Every structure is written in structure tokens, then in C-alpha cells.
Amino acid sequence: MGLRGPGAKPALRTKTPAPLPLFGDAPGRDQAVSTGELPLVGETRAERLICWIERLIITSGALAGQPMRLDEWQKDIIRSLYETDENGLRFVRTGVVSMGRKNGKTGLASALALAHLCGPEAVKRGQVLSAAADRGQASIVFDEMIAFALEQPQLAARLVVRAYNKTVEDAVTGSVYKALSADARKAHGLSPTFAIADEVAQWRDRDLFDALKTGGGAHRESLLLGISTRSPDADNPLEELLRYGASVADGTFPDRTFKSFVWSAPMDADPWVEATWRMANPALGTFRSVEDIRSQAMQAMRVPSQEAAFRAYTLNQPVTSDVRFLRPDDWDACAGEAEAAGPCYCGLDLASGASDLTAFSFYWPETGKLTVKAFLPSELVDVKQSEDHAPYREWLSAGLIEAIPGRAIDRAWLLMWVAQAIEGLDVVAIGLDRWNLKDLEAVADREGISLPLSPVGMGYASQSPAITAFETAVLQGTLQHGGNPLLRWAVSNAALDADPAGNRKLSKQRARGRIDPLVASVVAVGLAASEPAEEELFFDVIAL
């Protein structure tokens, strides 16, 4: 690696593999320089990058010394990440790759890092970063990248490697690579053109990831790539990213700047058969050992305490004890429109914090129509959008969210909105947490507002019947929510707690994100279900 310290020099090797093209005048171009580098082959930017990577030399394992050959699934990742618009510019800014361990995630990421440092994706004075939970993990990408470079004399000759602080500088482009441990403070002030978030499931929080993402905002083609296998602890940044990726993939959050690539075995698949292993291990049969996974599976079968780790690390499953709510297919089947007719029941879920999301729902049991409106303080919409990782601005424009003036949920303003919204409707009751009832009644009295407020318990005994009623309406297809994306998001975030008697309630502590629109909806449907049916009167004529 050359000398260490401030006076470090580029390292050289004498082995001469197929030459690699160096930096051209723009990213992704296939311009060769005067030292005899071969031009890159490919009609697209992604194909030229693939060509460049496949001239790197594998440095360890059974294939050491051979050119790197990408599997088709690896090429598909590159093609998707490096797709360009009509101006030839990359539009993906964030990518997430998740699969079982030992499938070559780090090797691919290291090759991409090298390409952004001194290859076809390099820019003048770029910043290439890799970050991990600890210093040891952070050095893995560094070591792999340097090993690639040292097999190519023309690359080694231009790189200044400083192993003592895990940095590399390219003498041609002026670009710098640096390895970071997961401390967000170290990322502030940096402006990465390309960054790797390595094993992000092991990170304590999203602070560093978000710092890397915002730091790249100064560049029109910055790319942040998260690579990770899942963790047995489901409370980690990777799960947030995968949930967002799933919402992008199914159209809930249209976002062409975000791409996720996930290989994971379904929770209901048999974990002990090879067909299931292949779902989470795309390299199985090429450079991922079937025998190794078979050995792990046998141990996990015999030692139950190892099953969670096997499911997380090998099958890449989201291991959690939480009980989730509704299946997406069942929910989406109820996306029809219905008429707002007959008696109406409403639900109100007030924010636990003065500035958090609040929701109000309307439910017409005769037709099954369900609508919901959410509320946020107007001055904090962008802050809450960032905190909750939800497209609040988009939903605000679509009329799904109302902005309450100020920096807090003004309860008087909210009750006035409710009074106007229910005017002309046959509203039977507005259910809300009994602990908020007195406060709201006082506000209503002060403002001269009359509302049919009805206290609702939020414990197991009170919530369980409401949840059952809501679930039944969805499964029987009698509820129609009109495809509301705000409500779909809340449903996808929901988790249930259960007591020893089997009673259930929605858990805000274990939820994946905000569930307030769902809580308000469950309250409304539960109220309607608990309302006694009208009794017909029968008169017996008694002959005297």
C-alpha cells in the first residue's frame, strides 16, 4: 500500500492485467487517455460501468486472480442505479441493497466506490465515503477497494493510500475516499459524490445516513448506497429504508430517485429447504456456498435459539415479535368508492405531542364509505415530513392533510373545522380517547361549539372489539376507503399488541411509523359496530 503517513506515495505493482480506462472529461464517458487504456464497451452509462468493473481482478477466494464477472442480478442493480434521463444524467440518488450474508454486497459496493474515485464515474475533486457501525466494519470497503486497485498498475500508480486514517487520494482527479464509523458528527461538512452505508441494519439510528444524504445535496448526481443484511433486532434504520422502498415500489410514494433491491424469504416459506434459501441468496450456486447454508440450517433446527439469527442473516427475514395488522392485498381490495349516505360515525385521534399528526375520520356503515383527514401545524410540515419519512407536502397538496396555522395543533381551530365538516351530515357520535374528553369539552364550551363527543377506551377491552369490527369489514369487503394513500401508509405501519386473553390493541410504540389516521378510522368503525341495532316493535292483540 505504499508508505504510511503524510509523505505517503502511490503504491505500484508489476502484474499487468487487462488495462482499465481512466478518468475522462465527464462521468460515465468511455474516453481513453494517452497511456494506452482500453475504451469502455457499452451503449449506456451503466453498461460501460459494468465493462469497467469486469476488468477488475478478484483478490481472494477460489477465483483469486481472475477478472471479476458480475452475475446478472448484480448487473441489474447497476443498470437500475445508473439509468439516465434524456440529458444523460443519473436520477437515482438513494439506493438500498439487502440480501443474505456472503452474497458479494461489499465487493460490488467496493468496485462502485473505486469507479467513483478513479474510474468512469469519477468527477474532479469528488468525495467518496464509506460508513459503518464501527471502525472495523468501516475498513472492510477500504481494504477491498485497495486490493482491487493494487492488482491494476495503472490505478495503483495514481492512488495515494494512507492506511493509518483509511483515506485514498487519486492524483489524476483530485478525488478523495475516506472511511467513517457511524458518528453523524463526522459527516457534517462533508459533501459526498458517492457514499456507501455498510450494514446499515447494525446502526443505532438514521443520523449518519441522513447526514450523508443531505451532504450530497450539493451535487446533481450524488449517490448514497445502503447495503445490508437484516438484523434480529427489527428496530434499525434498514427497516425504515426497506419500508419506504416497498411504498415506492407499490406506487404509494412515487419517487424515481429511490431504488431498493431486496432478496428475502417470505415469512411463511419453509426455512429448511434450498428453494427458500435461494430467495434471499442470489449468489447461491455461484460464489455463495449451498453447503455452508445447509450447515447453518441444521444447527438452527437443532438449537432453537439460533433460528432468529438464521432467519435474519441467511434468509434476510424481518425477525420481530410484533403482530402485524392487515395484509396489503386485503386492504387494496377495498379501494372502491362508496356513497356518503345514512348515519355517520366519526373518530378523532389527537396527537400525543402538540405538533404531531392528528387525524379525523368519517364512516358511513350503510355504504361502507370511510374517509380520513389528517392535520399538521403549517410551520412544521417540512420538519415533520423529514422526521416521519412521509410525503406530507404531497398529501397536503392532494387535500388529504389540513395545515393548522402556527407551530402546534390548535384545538379550537380543529374543533371549528370538525363542526363545519359535519354540518349537514347525520353524525351519530364522534369517538375519542376518554382522557382527552374533558379538555375538548372545555374548548368546545369556550368557543360555543356543540359536538356529539363520545368517550372511547384505548385499552385492550375497549379496542379489541373495534379492531375486530374493522378487520371484519375489510376482509368481507364491506369497507371502501377509496385508495387513500395516507390511510394505506398508516395501515402499513400498524402493529398489534395482545394480552394473555387474546384481546388486541394498536401499538403506537411498536408501529413502524405514524398510525393516527388508522386509529381514528378504527374508532369510527368500532363506534358503528357497537351501536345497538334498531328494534322493531311488535304488538300482540290479546282477546279479552
Is residue 230 a contact partner of residue 240, using CB atoms and an 8 Å limit?
no
**pLDDT, position 51:** 95
Mapped onto helix, strand or coil, the DSSP state of residue 37 is coil
| Domains parsed from the chain with CATH numbers | 90-262 (3.40.50.300), 274-319 (no CATH), 328-530 (3.30.420.240)
**pLDDT, position 184:** 52
| Alpha carbons 515 and 518: distance in angstroms, whole number | 5
Tell whether pTM > 0.85: no
Measured between alpha carbons, how far is residue 350 from residues 268, 360, 381, 407, 414 in Å? 36, 9, 17, 15, 10
pLDDT digits (tens, 9 = 90+) for 352-408: 778 889 999 999 999 999 999 999 999 999 999 988 888 899 999 999 999 999 999
User: In the structure grid, which three cell numbers stand for residue 274, read together?
Assistant: 434450498
Radius of gyration of the chain measured on its C-alpha atoms: 28
Is residue 283 a contact partner of residue 277, using CB atoms and an 8 Å limit?
no
DSSP string, 280-335: H-TTBTTTB-HHHHHHHHHHHHH-GGGHHHIIIIIS------PEE---HHHHHTT-
**pLDDT, position 206:** 80
Beta bridge partners of 176: 127, 169
**pLDDT, position 334:** 94
Is residue 43 a contact partner of residue 50, using CB atoms and an 8 Å limit?
no
Q: Which positions of the chain have pLDDT values less than 50?
A: 1-7, 9-36, 321, 533-544
